[in-house]
A and B are shown apart, each in its own frame.
Chain A
């Protein structure tokens, strides 16, 4: 059974750096074809893909956020970490991590964590 859970601060101040951790079980990020993606949803708005890291450590980022976002993995801990710099109130959103296997479908998601950016 595949599960994912996001963790991190619920409140960050403008200009601070956000660090979120996705802890997963039921699969290995060293298995060929596997990836873990980060997606966010501002209140009342659409889902937005942020980044993905693959089993071979290849990474891809949303072009609009590429300068602010970094994604890393710790295969031994079954964790993926998202870092986003220079946070702004417009970055207030629920942040999700999700599992990917071979194709472009994100088949398992975490419940998400709400991050509020406010002074």
Chain B
């Protein structure tokens, strides 16, 4: 049902770099709408990690970075930390649906 597609899981050892892809279409990411990324930890409010494709809100470590190209976007975590183990979702806006759309979600595991 999700409009944006993400890999179900990625994993890496502490200190490694992992990337999460977010694939959309010409009615959302491809038409120029921004992509945002959220981190979900159990029992806590979802946290905005990246907004407008590449921007980090104040307080988000610089090991998190975002990019966008064509109909896809990516979130990279460099220098993976144990506290980065969480679920991550991308989000954009869709012309056809006239509403917000989320990715399928990716679970990051720190080995």
Is B57 a contact partner of A96 (Cβ separation < 8 A)? no
Interface string of A59-70 (1 = CB under 8 A from B): 011111000000
> Which A residue sits closest to B97, measured CB to CB?
A63
Contact of B100 with A52 in the complex, beta carbons under 8 Å: yes
The number of residue pairs between A and B whose CB atoms lie closer than 8 Å in the complex comes to: 76
Known: A46-B105, A52-B100, A111-B43. A105 touches B52 (CB 8 A): yes
Say yes or no: B52 contacts A103, CB within 8 Å: yes
Given contacts A60-B99, A103-B52, A107-B57, contact A47 B93 (CB under 8 A): no
Contact in complex: B48, A106 (CB < 8 Å): yes
In the complex, which residues of chain B have a beta carbon less than 8 angstroms from the beta carbon of A37? 100
Per the 8 Å Cβ criterion, residues 75-107 of A in contact with B are 96, 98, 103-107
User: Which residues of chain B in 31-77 are interfacial with respect to chain A, using CB atoms and an 8 Å cutoff?
Assistant: 33-34, 36, 38, 40, 43-48, 51-52, 57
CB-contact partner of A106 in B36, B40, B44, under 8 A: B36
Asked if B89 and A112 make an inter-chain contact with CB atoms under 8 angstroms apart, the answer reads no
Chain B residue contacts of A64, Cβ below 8 A? 1
* Interchain CA distance A106-B99 in the complex, whole Å: 13
A89 vs B35: C-alpha distance when bound (angstroms):
31
Complex Cα–Cα for A38 and B108 (A): 25
Bound-state Cα–Cα, A50 to B91, Å: 14
Is the pair A47, B99 in contact by a Cβ cutoff of 8 Å?
no
User: Nearest residue in B to A47 (C-beta to C-beta)?
Assistant: B102
Interface set of A (CB-CB < 8 Å, partner B): 37, 39, 41, 45-49, 52, 60-64, 96, 98, 103-112
